[in-house]
Amino acid sequence: MSEIRHDWRDAEIAALYELPFNDLLFRAQQVHRAHFDPNRVQVSTLLSIKTGRCPEDCGYCPQSVRYDTGLEDEPLLPVDEVLAQARAARERGASRFCMGAAWRAPRDRDLDQVVEMVRGVKAMGLETCLTLGMLTEAQTARLREAGLDYYNHNLDTSPDFYGEIITTRTYQDRLDTLARVREAGIKVCCGGIVGMGEDRADRIGLLRELANQPQHPESVPINLLVKVEGTPLAEAEDLDPIEFVRTIAVARILMPRSWVRLSAGREAMDDAQQALCFLAGANSIFYGEKLLTTPNPTADRDRALFDRLGLQAV
């Protein structure tokens, strides 16, 4: 039921998607309970440490310099300010502090400040996570020495649909960065975004790529597109909420030991849809009112939902 595999075929994944909804959720629950306490949810907080003016053309991203989204650009934050935000996140119950910078790839001189941030957050007893874009082998080694726990680098979508969303970075570029992170001994946080106009075959292709990596990502964020005015995907058609829940359930079955994070897009979900996602095997969320630059449910709303569902934040 929860065999760890790295050889999933599209037809097998499609068969999971096509199961009756109740059967799919039952199977996902069985897998989830074999590896996790079903009533415990890992809580992370995400902070944008450098905002805007990214040279990439990711069609979903308000931080791209190519799109007019009204976003205010901000340089790399001072270390003290980041550490103050990390302390506040810890006091609100977060166990992992994630820092994101809108770079295609960091410069070595930028990394000096980021290394200080990692060390400071780590000293607070929080797990650390970064997303900085593409990394060199030497940069990856520096981050590992600083004590970085996780590195986030999403695949975003399937290889076939990728060119419809991004042209400034190849799919192989992303896979190469993930390989460097893994080789350095840093845990991988890697998932994708759904609701960008892809079809089910592309969602299957994304999950296949994730599940067939040499080692499953320890953390798998499943994001629902947050449509931002001024980006090419601002008018994308809404994804069926049940299809989103199915995607969570299939991710849980394919990657039994991974933390499956119900990530961006929760602000647009009602409590019932989020509850179905937890039932489908999601066991991680971002906590706090903002995810980099887009809205997220308030901590009070999340605490109220956890209380209603009998969930415990860890």
Is residue 189 flagged as an active site residue?
yes
Q: What's the rounded Cα separation, in Å, for the pair 186 and 5?
A: 21
Return the pLDDT at 267.
Answer: 84
Return the pLDDT at 126.
Answer: 92
CB neighbours (10 Å) of residue 84?
12
Q: State the catalytic residue, choosing from 142, 182, 252, 261.
A: 261
Which tokens is 24 given? Answer: 């799919």
Return the pLDDT at 294.
Answer: 56
Is residue 277 flagged as an active site residue?
no
* 294 within 8 A of 264, measured Cβ to Cβ: yes
User: Going by DSSP bridges, is the β-strand pair 192-194/40-50 parallel, antiparallel, or unpaired?
Assistant: unpaired
The end-to-end CA distance of the chain, in Å, is 26
Return the pLDDT at 289.
Answer: 55
The candidate with the shortest Cα–Cα distance to 245, out of 226, 232, 260, 267, is 260
Distances (CA, A) of 290 to 36, 46, 239, 244: 27, 8, 22, 21
Q: What's the rounded Cα separation, in Å, for the pair 223 and 220?
A: 10
Q: What's the rounded Cα separation, in Å, for the pair 217 and 225?
A: 21
Return the pLDDT at 7.
Answer: 95
Q: State the catalytic residue, choosing from 27, 96, 129, 246.
A: 129
Instruction: Show Cβ contacts of residue 145 under 8 Å, excluding neighbours closer than 6 positions.
Output: none
* 36 within 8 A of 265, measured Cβ to Cβ: no
* 291 within 8 A of 20, measured Cβ to Cβ: no
Return the pLDDT at 1.
Answer: 53
Instruction: Show Cβ contacts of residue 206 under 8 Å, excluding neighbours closer than 6 positions.
Output: 155, 156, 157, 158, 192, 194
* 47 within 8 A of 96, measured Cβ to Cβ: no
Return the pLDDT at 295.
Answer: 54
Is residue 190 flagged as an active site residue?
no
The residue assigned the tokens 């296949």 is 208
The residue assigned the tokens 């009602």 is 270
Return the pLDDT at 3.
Answer: 80
The candidate with the shortest Cα–Cα distance to 266, out of 248, 253, 251, is 248
Return the pLDDT at 45.
Answer: 86
Which tokens is 100 given? Answer: 């994101």
Which tokens is 40 given? Answer: 């415990």
Q: What's the rounded Cα separation, in Å, for the pair 287 and 45?
A: 5
Q: State the catalytic residue, choosing from 98, 142, 180, 277.
A: 98
Q: What's the rounded Cα separation, in Å, for the pair 142 and 35?
A: 32
Distances (CA, A) of 190 to 78, 131, 268: 27, 10, 22
The tens place of each residue's pLDDT in the chain, 314 residues long, gives 568 999 999 999 999 999 999 999 999 999 999 999 999 999 888 888 888 778 788 888 888 877 877 767 788 899 999 999 999 888 888 888 989 888 888 888 889 999 999 999 999 999 999 999 889 999 999 999 999 999 999 999 999 999 999 999 899 999 999 999 999 999 999 999 999 999 999 999 999 999 999 999 999 999 999 988 889 898 899 999 999 999 999 999 999 999 999 988 888 899 999 999 999 999 999 876 555 555 566 778 888 899 999 999 88
Q: What's the rounded Cα separation, in Å, for the pair 57 and 62?
A: 10
Q: What is the dihedral of CA 182, 125, 86, 304, to 10 degrees?
A: 100
Q: State the catalytic residue, choosing from 54, 96, 182, 266.
A: 54
Q: State the catalytic residue, choosing from 27, 142, 169, 189.
A: 189
Give pTM, 2 decimals.
Answer: 0.91
* Farthest-apart Cα atoms in the chain, separation: 53
* DSSP letter (8 states) at residue 19: S
Q: State the catalytic residue, choosing from 61, 180, 182, 203.
A: 61
